[in-house]
Structures are given as structure tokens and as C-alpha cells.
Chains A and B, each alone.
Chain A
């Protein structure tokens, strides 16, 4: 579990009510005792929450972390004012990358910190290349071939169109990349 999330307030969204009350209570107490997370609420059977791609082996996603990780402070970032096309690689090991455009299929962005794509991410993105597992990947439309955060790799398993709202990819529980609707940092 990511240390920077310690003490955060979380909301548990269950895609389908596959957990009974006892199980939810267990989850709540485990999160508090083992991870110091305060559960604010539990939502049952909410289909509007998109499931993580490459399905995380859990039936829930933990979303809306309210405490921003502080490791971003003071880190340099680079703005790329154009689309990254097939065959092009944009690398910035020193910090975060912000792309004013798309990352097309066959293109690649790699950053030591976070990656923010103000367009459609269709290619490959690798955040936290220096091993920073709290790094995130955000895109207006997230439809990547592969995502990598630290040494954790996910590949797209569906050909579905992105949902039409911004999404964020981060390392979730059990060290798999989960994708959630992006609300705010």
C-alpha cells in the first residue's frame, strides 16, 4: 500500500453488491487498522463507476482520495505543446509531463513523475519511471495500449471506446493499476 495515502478519507464504490454487510464491516476495519484509511461511505451497485481495465482482481475500486500525495511538490514539469505521433517518444525523467494534444497509437510518453494528457491517450504511457509508485496518469480520454507506473504494467484488454470523461490511472490495492473517473487531485 502506498504510504502517501496514509490517513486519507476514502469512499468505497462497489460495482455490484457482491459483499454482504459483515464483509463490508471487515473491509472498513481492515482499511482503518492496517492502512489508516477512514472510510467515508460505501456505495452499492453503482454502474456509473467504470471498472478498472485489465480487471483488478477485486470487486471494488477505491476512489476519490481526498488527500493529494505531497511528492509532487517542487518537482519540475515539462509542457509538450503538440500531439505525440506514432514513432515519437517524449521522455522527461526529471518530473512530470503535460501534453497539450494527443498521444497516438505507436507513440510513447515517459516521465519520472506524473503524465497528464490534455487529449486522447492512445499510445503507451509510463509514469514514475524512477520507481515512484504514487505517480499517476491522467487523460481527457484514456484509451491506451499500455500503461506503466513504476514497474507495474497494464495492457488494454478491451476495444471499447473511452467513456467520454477524464480518467486517472494509479496503482491501487494489490499493486495493480486501476482506472477511475478523474475528479480532482
Chain B
């Protein structure tokens, strides 16, 4: 029996879809069977980020309306085995879907695939409720800024209300330079507020923009720091214990200070 994980954030633009695409691809590269479900009905993007937009024939709405079988609606990824996409309908809106219908789809996918990653839309309304309806676990994506963190906090509260557990945190677009000069919150500040388990920190990586435009997830580019971070998170999702590297660049002064406090 596989796991259904909803990838959500509350705030838009923090990297839910990018994270879903990259984690799904990374899990498939690790040999897992994976299906990505776009729950952003009416504003679908996951097909573009995966480079599969020209192959989408049926959507989850067609499955719900019994226009086609679930298996027929799944789009197979060209680059890696065992990776499928269930696209969202672009012509419907979120109220056309019921949470129970999404749950039924997730329940079916769980029996076949190791991982079902559901890409949630921004917001806390129907779209979010649809996306989380069938989820066993959650990944909350946030960026280290106060507005994203407040929204993540709200989402965590809602996920806890429906007893989705565990809820793991991904800090995205982390900039060691900005933390170093004190203009960005560090990991400890974010965790202090949100108080859930951290599963990974993805550094700011301009490669994300080109990879999105080309429809090739970043994880295919082995050398990029973003790709490495997503691969590590995927390994942690499979149960491997991999430490989270300290991305924070300490200045010379604080290094000296650390040395003194350690050796005191």
C-alpha cells in the first residue's frame, strides 16, 4: 500500500508545483512508482513543469464524470519509468469537484503506486480541501519570509484539524547569503514558529526558472544545488536517514565567535 502525500503551502508562488514535480521525478529516479496529481482545477501547471502538456488527453474531471477509466487518464512520463501524471481540468473550476471524489481517486492510486503526490492549489478553500481529502501525509512548502510562514502556519493548523500526520516542512528558496547578512530568517527561526519536522531546505536556484520553461525538472541536472536538495528530500521520503546539511554561510566574524564559545 502506497502513501498519498499532499504538497501544500497556503500562499501561492512558494514552489508547490516545482517541489511536486521534482520530488516526484526524484522518487521515480530512486526506483519508486509515482503518480503526480494536479489538484489545481482551472489553473493547472504541473503538466507544463513536467513537460507533458501536449500529452494530456483526459483529466481527473473526466475520471470523476466517468468519461474514462482512471488508468487511461494517467499520462506516462517519457524520461523515467514509473512516473505518471493525472492532470487537472483546465475548463472547470474547483467547486466542480467534491473532496470525496478526490479521495476516491487517491484511494485507488494508493493501491498501485508507492507514492501519490497531490499538488495543492494556493488558498485554504475548496481547492485545498479537495487536495488534502485523500492524503495520509503532508509536505508544507514555505519560503523564509513572514507572509509565507504565516500562511504555512494556517495550513498546518488546518491539516492538524483533519489529523493528517506527519506534516513535513520544506523551506524553499533559501538564500545563505541573505541569511548571512541578517536579512533573511534562518532555519531555526522558521522552525521555532512552525514547530513541525523539517524534511529539507532547498536553496535559491535560478536553474528552476529555466527548468520550468523547458519542462524538464531540475533533478535531472545533477550538479545543481536545488537538484541535490530535492534528491535528498526524496531519499528521506523513502525512509533513508540523511542529515540536512547546514546551508547557512557564517561570516568570518561569527565563525571566530563560534570558535571562542566552543573552546571556552
Interface positions of A (Cβ within 8 A of B): 83, 85-88, 101-102, 104-107, 120, 122
Contact between chains at A106 and B150 (CB < 8 Å): yes
Contact between chains at B193 and A122 (CB < 8 Å): yes
Contact between chains at B195 and A102 (CB < 8 Å): yes
Contact between chains at B157 and A85 (CB < 8 Å): yes
Among residues of B, the one whose C-beta sits closest to the C-beta of A101 is: B195
- Measured between alpha carbons, how far is A18 from B82 in the docked complex, in Å? 75
Q: Which of B125-180 contact A (CB under 8 A)?
A: 146, 149-151, 153-154, 156-158, 160
Contact between chains at A105 and B195 (CB < 8 Å): no
Interface positions of B (Cβ within 8 A of A): 124, 146, 149-151, 153-154, 156-158, 160, 192-193, 195
Among residues of B, the one whose C-beta sits closest to the C-beta of A87 is: B154
Contact between chains at A88 and B195 (CB < 8 Å): no
* Complex contacts, B156 vs chain A, CB 8 Å: 85
Can you name 6 A-B pairs with beta carbons within 8 Å?
A85-B153, A86-B151, A87-B124, A87-B157, A101-B195, A107-B153
Write the nearest CB–CB distance from A129 to chain B, whole angstroms: 22
- Measured between alpha carbons, how far is A122 from B149 in the docked complex, in Å? 13
- Measured between alpha carbons, how far is A122 from B189 in the docked complex, in Å? 13
Write the nearest CB–CB distance from A139 to chain B, whole angstroms: 14
Contact between chains at A86 and B146 (CB < 8 Å): no
Among residues of B, the one whose C-beta sits closest to the C-beta of A161 is: B189
| Ranked 4 nearest A-B pairs via Cβ | A85-B157, A86-B153, A86-B154, A87-B154
Query: Which residue, B146, B151, B153, B157, has most C-beta atoms of chain A within 10 A?
Result: B153
Q: For the complex, would chain B's binding face be called helix, strand, loop or mixed by DSSP majority?
A: helix
Contact between chains at B154 and A106 (CB < 8 Å): yes
Contact between chains at B193 and A88 (CB < 8 Å): no
- Measured between alpha carbons, how far is A170 from B145 in the docked complex, in Å? 31
Contact between chains at A83 and B146 (CB < 8 Å): no
* Complex contacts, B154 vs chain A, CB 8 Å: 85-87, 106
* Complex contacts, A101 vs chain B, CB 8 Å: 195
Among residues of A, the one whose C-beta sits closest to the C-beta of B192 is: A120
- Measured between alpha carbons, how far is A120 from B153 in the docked complex, in Å? 14
Write the nearest CB–CB distance from A121 to chain B, whole angstroms: 12
* Complex contacts, A85 vs chain B, CB 8 Å: 153-154, 156-157, 160
Write the nearest CB–CB distance from B241 to chain A, whole angstroms: 27
* Complex contacts, B160 vs chain A, CB 8 Å: 85
Write the nearest CB–CB distance from A163 to chain B, whole angstroms: 16
- Measured between alpha carbons, how far is A106 from B158 in the docked complex, in Å? 14
Decide: A88 near B157, CB < 8 A? Known: A102-B193, A104-B193: yes
* Complex contacts, A105 vs chain B, CB 8 Å: 146, 149-150, 153, 193
Contact between chains at A86 and B195 (CB < 8 Å): no
* Complex contacts, B150 vs chain A, CB 8 Å: 86, 104-106
- Measured between alpha carbons, how far is A88 from B146 in the docked complex, in Å? 17
- Measured between alpha carbons, how far is A83 from B193 in the docked complex, in Å? 10
Decide: A83 near B195, CB < 8 A? Known: A88-B157, A105-B146: yes
Write the nearest CB–CB distance from B153 to chain A, whole angstroms: 4
- Measured between alpha carbons, how far is A107 from B195 in the docked complex, in Å? 15
Query: Which residue, A87, A107, A120, has most C-beta atoms of chain B within 10 A?
Result: A87
Write the nearest CB–CB distance from A94 to chain B, whole angstroms: 24
* Complex contacts, B153 vs chain A, CB 8 Å: 85-87, 104-107
* Complex contacts, A102 vs chain B, CB 8 Å: 193, 195
Among residues of A, the one whose C-beta sits closest to the C-beta of B124 is: A87
